[in-house]
Structures are given as C-alpha cells and as structure tokens.
Amino acid sequence: MKKIINDPSTVVEESLKGMALAHQDLIAVQFDPTVVVRADAPVPGKVAVISGGGAGHEPLHGGFVGRGMLDAACPGHVFTSPTPDQVQAAVRRTDAGAGALLVVKNYTGDVLNFETAAELAAADGVEVRTVVIDDDVAVTDSLYTAGRRGVGGTLLLEKVVGAAAERGVDLDGCEALARRVVGRVRSMGLALAAGTVPHAGEPGFTLAEDEIELGIGIHGEPGRRRVKIGTADEMVRSLLDPILEDMPLADGDRVLLFTNGMGGTPLIELYLAHGIAERLLAERGIVVERRLVGPFVTSLEMQGMSLTVLELDDELLDLWDAPVHTAALRWGV
C-alpha cells in the first residue's frame, strides 16, 4: 500500500485540518465531535441543510459546505457512518430558527445514526426533517443497505436543495423539493480496480486484467455482475441503459447528466465517456441541458466511473444554475 499518510488512525483528522486551512474563508472544522460548517453559520432565518457520511468520498460531503449548498457536513471515519452526536452538533452549530433538513444516503448506518440525531435535535427544540436518497439502480439490496444505495445523485440533491434554502424557502418547501429530486434522479457505476482503505492496507476487491465490476457502490460493494471489459461505448451503454429502463424518458425530456470519476480515473477518460453518454441520450431524443464532469463522489483511488441522470424542469434548472460557493463547486458568485 502506497499512500501519502502518517497513520491510518489519524488520516481523516489530518486531512480535515488541511482542508480547514485551505478553505478558511468558506468553512470551519470543529473536532470532538467532528463537523465541517459554513464559516458564516448560522445564517439568520435560513433552513440548515446538513449531510454527511464516511470519509473517502471527497469532495463529498465537506467539499460542498458553503453558500448555496450545505450548511454543515459530518465526516465519519473512512467508509464509516458519522455518529449521532456529530449530526446533533451540526444541527446546533447551524440552527437559525428555521429548522434543519438532513440529506442522508441510503446506507444502513447512515440512516440509523441520522434518525437518532434527528430525535436528539427535536428534544433540543429544533424542527428536523430527514430525506433519504436512493438513486443507485444497480441493486435492490446490498451488505450496506436495505434497498437502493445513495450515490452520485446525492450531490445534485444537495445543490438543488441548498440553493432553495439559500433563497429562503421554508422547511416544508425544502423537504418537498428534496423528495421530488429523489424521485427524478438515477445513477449507476462501474469499477476497473478497487481502492484501498488505509487501515485495511489492501484493495477492497480484486479484478482480473480483463474484468470490470458493473454496478458497484461507492464503498466498493459488489455490483450486478463481473464482466469482461469492453470498449468505452459498451461500458457507457451498460451504465446508461439500466438508468433509462428505470426512469423512462420521452423524446424532448430535459436532463442533467453527471459523469463522475471514482477517484482514480483521469479526466481524459471521463470526458470521453461523457461524450458517448450525451450521444446515446441524443439518439433517444433526450435533451442534455446541464452537465457536470469530474471526480466529485469518489471511492478513494478506485478506478471507475458512474453516470447520474436527473430529469429537469424549469424550477430544478433554475436552482441548479443558482450561485454556489464551496470548496469543490462554485459558479455564479
């Protein structure tokens, strides 16, 4: 194992300290319990949008804390859910009297711990709503979830709801919007090679030189099947076809297409894949109105990619275009 670390037990804390120094105009990081918050939190009168999950998926979630997106993020240890006290601390640090919306990826530990935190926050007198995202069409159940996993669609949900909260939409409105996004977004990914969790010291799984894992999750969970590697056209189609089977889109429908790298895939390959996905969508008459390409929801240094498709309407398009200023996403500011 070759990694730029000192000690596997301190890698998350040391990384967050470096992140806080690099982006001190945008965020603050507190420890014990560990929470990443907006530098200007709490924002008066604003619904707090909070998310989190295991480290190793950077820039998700801490990289999306800032104006127009998240008010706070709770990072757990690598591929490990944050604890309820972290989430409770995030609610306390961002509470401005308008309530909090928790965005939770559908992994069993995340769901349980965020639900516990919501109960604790309610006992503190804060109104809290929880929305679970489950956009991965690859599997029904896995070792980590009951039902579908939350993956690349999480970023799109955080951006859209974060923009609404920034505009002053109330908690009911933010929750309704979040649930609408969950119903309109689908994802699927593949791996060419696994990442290595620092404290494990070896890859999460092994593939032969001519194999890929189709339908992986962001922790390297098994996918739908292991298959022989094909051309880029074939691999992109193997991701896009199941997405479109699960969310039938009609000629003229508008979408946002997010081509995501899993941490070890160069941009030259991601852009190549994105171009193929756009062509395949155009052949079906589907209009790609917005795009995002890059390693935004990663799995350490896993080689691979995922595609996420969000069906757009005028409101979602407007909220996507709204100003955002975070460490990892920024436009319109």
CA distance 215 to 238: 9
Residue 220: its pLDDT value, please? Answer: 77
- Give the active site residues: 57, 219
Please choose, from the candidates 133, 97, 169, the residue with its C-alpha nearest in 3D space to the C-alpha of residue 319. Answer: 169
* Helix extents (H) in 95-201: 108-123, 153-166, 171-184
Distances (CA, A) of 198 to 10, 19, 52, 246, 299: 10, 19, 20, 35, 12
Q: What is the pLDDT along the chain (333 residues), one digit of tens a residue?
A: 899 999 999 999 999 999 999 999 999 999 999 999 999 999 999 999 999 999 999 999 999 999 999 999 999 999 999 999 999 999 999 999 999 999 999 999 999 999 999 999 999 999 999 999 999 999 765 565 678 999 999 999 999 999 999 999 999 999 999 999 999 999 999 999 999 999 888 888 889 999 999 999 898 777 788 999 999 999 999 999 999 999 989 999 999 999 999 999 999 999 999 999 999 999 999 999 999 999 999 999 999 999 999 999 999 999 999 999 999 999 998
CA distance 232 to 304: 12
Residue 232: its pLDDT value, please? Answer: 98
What length does the chain have? 333
CA distance 86 to 53: 11
Beta strands in 152-264 (DSSP E): 185-193, 211-214, 225-228, 254-261
